[in-house]
Amino acid sequence: MATKLNNSARIKLVVLLIFACLMVAALWKSDTFGRQVAAQGATPPPAPAPAAAAATPEPPRLEGCIKCHNNIEPMHKYTATGDVYDKLVDGKDAQGMSCTACHGGNPAATTAKDAHVQPKFPKEWGCKNGECGSNNPERSNTLLAKESKEFVRFVNPSDFRVISQACGECHSDENHNVSRGMMAHGSMLWGAALYNNGGFHMKDTQFGESYNEEGIAQALIQQPAPSREDQAKKGHLPFLEPLPRWELSQPGNILRVFERGSRRRLEVGNPDKEEEPGKPDKGLSPRGLGTGNRTDPVYLGLQKTRLLDPTLNFMGTNDHAGDYRAAGCAGCHVIYANDPSKAASGPYARSGNQGFSESADKSIPRLESGHPIKHQFTSAIPTQQCMTCHMHPGTNMVATYLGRTWWDNESDGKYMYPQDKQINPSQSDEIRKLDKNPEGSSLRGLWSDSVFLQKTGTSDFNAQLKNVQFADTHGHGWMFKNVYKKDRKGNLLDKEDNIVPSGDPNKWNKAVHLQDIHLERGMHCVDCHFRQDSHGTGILYNEPRAAVEIGCVDCHGSVKAKANTITSGPAAMPPPRGEITQRERANKPVIGRDLTRLRFRAPDGRRLPILEVLTATTARNKKCNDENGKPIAFKAGDIVQNAIVESGKCWKVTQTVDTVTTGNVDYNEKSSYAKTMQRDNKTWGDAKASEEMLAHRESSMTCYACHTSWVTSCFGCHLSMEANRKTPMRHNEGGDSRNFTSYNFQVLRDDIFMLGKDGTVTGHQVAPVRSSSAVLVSSRNQNREWIYSQQQTLSAEGFSGQAFNTHVPHTVRGKETQTCSDCHVSKDKDNNAWLAQVMLQGTNFVNFMGRYVYVAATHSLDAVAVTEHTEPQAVYGSNLHKLAYKDNYEKFVREGRELEEVYENKGRPEVLQVQVRGEYAYVAAGKGGLRVYDVAQIDHKGFSERIVTAPVSPLGQKFYVDTKYAAAVAAPSTLAVDPTRWRTVRNDDGSLKQVPPDEALRLNAEAKAAGKAAPAVNEEGAIHPLYAYLYVADREEGLILVNAATLLDGDPRNNFLSRSLTYNPGGALTGANNITIAGNFAYVTTAKELVIVDISTPLQPKVTAQITLNGPKSVAVQFLYAFVVDADGLKVLDIREIQSTGAVRLVEGAMVPLKHAHDIYVARTYAYVANGEEGIAIVDVERPEQPRLDQTFNAEGTINDAHAVKVAMTNASLYGYVADGKNGLKILQLTDPETMPNYAGFSPRPEPRLIATFKTKGEAVGLSKGLDRDRGADESGNQIAVFGRRGARPFAYEEVMRMLRTNSGTGEFFTVSDQPVK
């Protein structure tokens, strides 16, 4: 038969055979057989428990994890009854939690491979051959949101995504509150950035970060919805949305490049024939807002920059000392080694700053960064743990609490930049370095190298430095320096206010390090911000302080009474019902938690109250040592605080009332003087005087308005965007895309103090104010063209985006507080400049000049490039240039310090004076009248003509106003302010609409009178209409007002300027040659007079005063005085009454004779006078009524035709810019950290040095003033710059007067002495 088999049958047979074989093979591999195979395998399964075994107690079977991790610390250390566990018991911690109860995984497995949860993204978790790294990966960004829930839980059971399966099971309230708290959603950061820079028009933030279990973004909704009242007064928010995609954001700030009119998009390798050479299409998208690249860079920044992240949703970047931390609960409660300083890290200081593990679990690698110190929860959270997030920005309150702030990138730079050769980073270096540290200067410095970075902050490194001392923690790769006590001249001071000589080798120990006194006494953040402040309440808040329950008085009491120990901050919540009744009976506040009832777990397991009010018995038994190790004497009635972090420590809390009560051991005369001084500026000492009588009332002032030793100010953060950067999105879905914004702080100061009115949530009290970075923005497109460069932003409702905010500086000191003369006119009248700063009027000191200096060169307008293009933007020839650009500097010096890069536009007919604001330059063109030049393309390499007088013909716009002879032009401010914007109002039904600003103010005033929530929800004040105009001083026509608001509105088609008003009453202004605007007044100089014109109603001006002078040329106003130069020299006017009575007094005898004075510029306590052929006269005006010629500088005779002078600051140094007539532009370095130990003072004596020159073709007769970065309000109290808290603002005129005059600002001007007057 076989022989009969044909081919087809054979094939069938073969197929069947194969089938049979496969069947056998499959069954063999499948379970049926597999089970038997497994049974005979090397690792037998646990034998089924025989019935007999149940009878005898068997030791509990341990989880497989213990096989490797047997020595690991118990995560929970305490039982409910206070037993302390040092080790796991039966594989469980004090709360009976086994490993897998939190981490998941397979408890039965005994090999890591079987037991450990496997990630979805093994590469990102450092896995090799199935074994993953146990440390937190570097810069994992949104990895946690993308991972599987199982793995997230395995890595960190306290992560918010999985918390309900672990921590949340027992700590459900904390789970709820923390995951909806500020530290999780971070909304205040996004809200401030968006509102201040015009990206969004609601001041109460709308956006926050949160993820659901699947890692998907989610909105947080407040249930029940907060009432309008709670929203307005307590800062509660109804919801927070995830950030919208930035690709769809629509720019709020319509810079020129965002205007309509773009023609095309460019394609790689496919040129457009229509593109005009030398005039690229400037647009970002041929379509509408929010298409193509016509999007808002702020939204992009929020997703991508490192400045505002990460929040607790994600882990730290784990790439620098200071960045090691986990996410979720462990973000705070599990300590990582980040800072070896005792002050910051307390008991954890000895663990160093490398994020190394000290766990007894031997399976954790020892010398690997990114591990917690121990596998253990703690409530003893050191300040440094807070700092791992609260270092953004480096001027934040945790840094200041530690007495630190960002380094300025210049001081002691010779140790920080390479000494032999400058670093020219390659493109790939740039990206690699910026990924770790987003600050542009680091590319040129040594500190981007992690080995070098690790050295900085050590005592060896600090020992060689002469100007700064670094901290030994470097979150984000940043350098933090210590802040020391200084006088206004910049000299270091010791405890007794003696000057510490700069050459003293022991100076850093003698000078006072201005740490917060609470820190100095051993208090960490958590010793004041207790559970609720950290965990939140589950309510969504609009600003951090709205979420704070603690207040100074809660522990320290008031002038009148001891502390009632009940929290009283904006977020203070009602206690349990029973306690309310008790308090009612005791006549205590019913809102707030009682700190004597609030307990924490001490390291020995005991539960201790935070505060104790000692009785006679407890006072006897209480044993604590002070910081010097001596026992503290307690008595009944003392309020004592027990330390949470520093084990066994306690403090007797000083009571304010004791310091003002004579005879009390804590009595302090100065304290009494300050706190009991009455409004007549004479009577003091009566602590019982009624609140109404007191000058410094608790109801209207924050404690820290005075108890602040220093205030940090970051003047000028340059946010510079590059299109060609593949960078990750650090929130939501993650992923890479184009565009990255580096940030570059420019001027970091700790020398100033400013005050303003706090926001609505915090009760409109007087509070310290700081600069919120004074942001400047730049952007480079795909062709690396600067499509806008160093531009200011505008906030949503029209104030300048050079933002300020009221804040709690966290720099409380006992002795180094603000004193009387820090806020009031001193008896020596030597604090005029200081007070100008305090009142936010600015001091022309930290002004921003930028890369281009605009020179009125008679025949042309010249924009001279004076700085390097990359960060740090060092002025050519300066000390910083030498440090950071050694090779460029040497070449520059070799070639004679001549500047080369200039862009010019021929004057029409001439250029006599120039002021740049935003993307326009205003020019006084003599017979040409007022001319506006478009300078938007000044830094755009694609343009052959970078300055134009008119982008289109006069038919399409009018960028000029003809006048007979415009001698001078003044913009009322160098800040861009838009008074024409409408305000957002909430209707009764909750919907929103915009109304004119006047209408909004009216509605809010009505609501305030009725005690209702403000309908104009942003609660912004008025923008004075005078800011809508340009002011031209015409030799023949007098004062001319030109409305320039259309230049700001984002519509290029309505840019037709026209004269709004000509004012020359009786020819009083004929011969006008110069004009300065200060507050509601225009100071116009004519041939014989100074005419002061009131422009408080701009279109109805009136002459306030006329002062006869000898050919006045220029005026500078500083607070209570105006300085004027005429043919005799510098004279001083007392203008304190100008707004009240209009009286102006020429101060007799206050005169510095100068022969050729043309122009005056006052920067803090020095006036700089362009003194013609004699060069620059520097006049000391610290005491304005006694001006004194300090020095004359002419650079060895080379400055001999000085016409104008301006001053500005770059990094740590001050620069002078001189229009030196026929010689052109001269740049002087006025202060220098290398040569002047006191460079960082409020007003160090300048030591000018010529560093660069530029020869203009025509005579250099004028210079544009730099951007005022410290001017939040003008001399009349009109707000100019935006304030970052709803309802916060600078002082109004009347409020300033209250600080200067008795009788609530209507009486006599008074002076004060810092020593109590008996």
What are the distances in angstroms from CA 37 to CA 27, 45, 737?
12, 12, 52
Chain position carrying tokens 């981007």: 448
- How far is Cα of residue 1228 from the mean position of the Cα atoms in its chain? 30
Helix (H) or strand (E) holding 603: none
Among 130, 956, 1065, 1067, binds another protein (CB under 8 A): 956
Exposed/middle/buried for residue 577 (C-beta within 10 Å: 0-12, 13-18, 19+): exposed
Among 75, 117, 1107, 1162, binds another protein (CB under 8 A): 117
Figure out which of the listed residues 29, 123, 366, 635 binds another protein, where binding follows CB under 8 A. Answer: 29
Counting contacts by CB under 8 A, is residue 107 touching another protein?
yes
Check binding of 40 to another protein (CB under 8 A). no
Q: Among 69, 77, 92, 116, which residue sits at the site for another protein (rule: CB under 8 A)?
A: 116
From the list 122, 126, 133, 286, which residue makes contact with another protein (rule: CB under 8 A)? 286
Based on the shown chain and the rule CB under 8 A, indicate whether residue 23 belongs to the binding site for another protein.
Answer: yes
* Per-residue DSSP letter, 521: T
HSE-up of 1055 (CA within 13 Å, CB side)? Answer: 25
Q: Are 745 and 439 in contact (CB under 8 A)?
A: yes
- Least separation in angstroms between residue 1309's CB and another protein is 42
Give yes or no for a cis peptide into 1112 (omega within 30° of 0). no
Task: Using CB atoms within 10 Å of the CB of residue 1189, give its burial: 0 to 12 exposed, 13 to 18 middle, 19+ buried.
Answer: middle
Find the binder of another protein among 363, 737, 1186, 1313 (CB under 8 A): 737
- Does 987 engage in binding with another protein (CB under 8 A)? no
Q: Is 248 in the site for another protein (CB under 8 A)?
A: yes
3-class DSSP state of 461: helix
- What is the end-to-end Cα distance of the chain in Å, rounded? 135
In angstroms, give the least distance from the CB of 1093 to another protein: 29
The answer to the question of residue 891 lying near another protein (CB under 8 A) is no
Q: Could you say which of 10, 87, 263, 682 contacts another protein (CB under 8 A)?
A: 263
Q: Which residues contact 590 (CB under 8 A, 6 or more apart)?
A: 574, 575, 580, 583, 584
Smaller CB distance to another protein: residue 627 or 733?
Answer: 733
- Alpha-carbon dihedral angle through residues 500, 504, 505, 507, given to the nearest 10 degrees: 0
1, 2, 4, 8: which one contacts another protein (CB under 8 A)? 8
Total residues contacting another protein (rule CB under 8 A)? 146
Q: CB neighbours (10 Å) of residue 6?
A: 7
- Compute the least distance from the CB of residue 1257 to another protein, in Å: 14
Stretch in the footprint of another protein (CB under 8 A) among 164-172, 574-582, 920-928, 1169-1177: 164-172
Please list every residue from 565 through 624 that binds another protein, using CB under 8 A.
none
Q: Please report whether residue 169 would count as binding another protein according to CB under 8 A.
A: yes
> What's the rounded Cα separation, in Å, for the pair 320 and 477?
6
At CA 333, angle to CA 332 and CA 338, rounded to 5?
60
Identify which range of 345-353, 634-642, 822-830, 939-947 contacts another protein by CB under 8 A.
939-947
Angle 7-29/31-39 helices, nearest 10 degrees?
A: 40
Q: From CA 457, how far away is CA 436, in angstroms rounded? A: 19
> Minimum CB separation from another protein for residue 947, in Å?
9
Place of tokens 């340059």: 718
How far apart CA 917 and CA 790 sit, in angstroms, is: 11
Please report, as residue ranges, which positions from 664 to 703 form the binding site for another protein (by CB under 8 A).
none
Q: Which of 736, 895, 988, 1308 lies at the binding interface for another protein (CB under 8 A)?
A: 736
For residue 9, the minimal CB distance to another protein (Å) is 9
784 forms part of the interface with another protein (CB under 8 A): yes
d(CA 933, CA 317): 46
Main-chain dihedrals φ then ψ at residue 200, nearest 5 degrees: -150, 150
Task: Give whichever of 953 and 1058 is closer to another protein, judged by the CB atom.
Answer: 953
**Is the CB of residue 1299 less than 8 Å from the CB of residue 756?**
no
1001 forms part of the interface with another protein (CB under 8 A): no
CB neighbour list of residue 617: distance below 8 Å, 6 or more residues apart: none
Report if residue 1005 touches another protein, rule: CB under 8 A.
no
Q: Residue 12 interacts with another protein (CB under 8 A)?
A: yes
Is 1023 a binder of another protein (CB under 8 A)?
A: no
Find the part of the chain contacting another protein (CB under 8 A) among 33-41, 758-766, 1185-1193, 1285-1293.
Answer: 33-41
290 interacts with another protein by CB under 8 A: yes
Q: Which is nearer to another protein, 238 or 1175 (CB)?
A: 238
594 phi, psi to nearest 5 deg: -85, 115
Name residues contacting another protein, limited to 1220-1239 (CB under 8 A). none
Single residue of 79, 502, 568, 732 touching another protein by CB under 8 A: 732
Site for another protein in 398-457 (CB under 8 A): 427-428, 431
- Of 19 and 667, the one with the shorter C-beta distance to another protein is 19
Please report how close the Cβ of residue 996 comes to another protein at its closest, in angstroms: 6
| Closer residue to another protein (CB): 261 or 631 | 261
Q: Which residue in the set 265, 859, 958, 1145 belongs to the binding site for another protein (CB under 8 A)?
A: 265
Cβ closest to another protein, residue 290 vs residue 522: 290
Quick check: 10 binds another protein (CB under 8 A)?
no
Interface stretch with another protein, choices 390-398, 458-466, 802-810, 991-999 (CB under 8 A): 991-999
Q: Is 1117 in the site for another protein (CB under 8 A)?
A: no
Does residue 47 interact with another protein by CB under 8 A? no
Closest CA to 447 of 428, 467, 461, 464: 461
Report d(CA 538, CA 532) in Å as an integer. 10
Position 1257 contacts another protein (CB under 8 A) = no
Contact pick of 980, 1060, 1186, 1191 for another protein (by CB under 8 A): 980
For residue 255, CA distances in Å to 784, 795, 1058 come to 18, 13, 22
274 forms part of the interface with another protein (CB under 8 A): yes
- Compose the 710-729 pattern: x for residues touching another protein by CB under 8 A, - for all others: --------------xxx---
- 200-239 residues near another protein, rule: CB under 8 A: 201-202, 210, 212, 216-224
Question: How far, CA to CA in Å, does 804 sit from each of 393, 533, 795, 832, 1270?
Answer: 14, 24, 12, 21, 9
| Identity of the residue numbered 789 | S
Q: Which residue in the set 945, 962, 1006, 1173 belongs to the binding site for another protein (CB under 8 A)?
A: 945
782 binds another protein (CB under 8 A): yes
Amino acid identity, residue 342?
K
Handedness of CA 559, 565, 570, 573 (dihedral sign): negative
Q: How far is the CB of 257 from another protein (least distance, A)?
A: 13
For residue 658, report the phi and psi dihedrals to the nearest 5 degrees: -65, -35
Q: Are strands 1145-1153 and 1262-1263 parallel, antiparallel or unpaired?
A: unpaired
Per rule CB under 8 A, is residue 50 in the interface with another protein? no
Binding mask 170-189 for another protein (x = CB under 8 A): --x-------x---------
Residue 557 CB, shortest distance to another protein, in Å, is 38
638 Cβ neighbours under 8 A, 6+ residues apart: 613, 614, 619, 652, 653
Of 55-63, 742-750, 1251-1259, 1296-1304, the segment contacting another protein by CB under 8 A is 55-63
Q: Residue 510 is encoded by which pair of tokens?
A: 């003698």
By CB under 8 A, is residue 250 in contact with another protein? Answer: yes
Nearest distance from C-beta of residue 994 to another protein, angstroms: 4
Q: Please pick, from the candidates 603, 951, 1305, 1316, the single residue that binds another protein as defined by CB under 8 A.
A: 951
User: Which of 855, 727, 849, 732 has the alpha carbon at shortest distance from 1210?
Assistant: 849
Report the C-alpha gap between 813 and 1030 in whole angstroms: 45
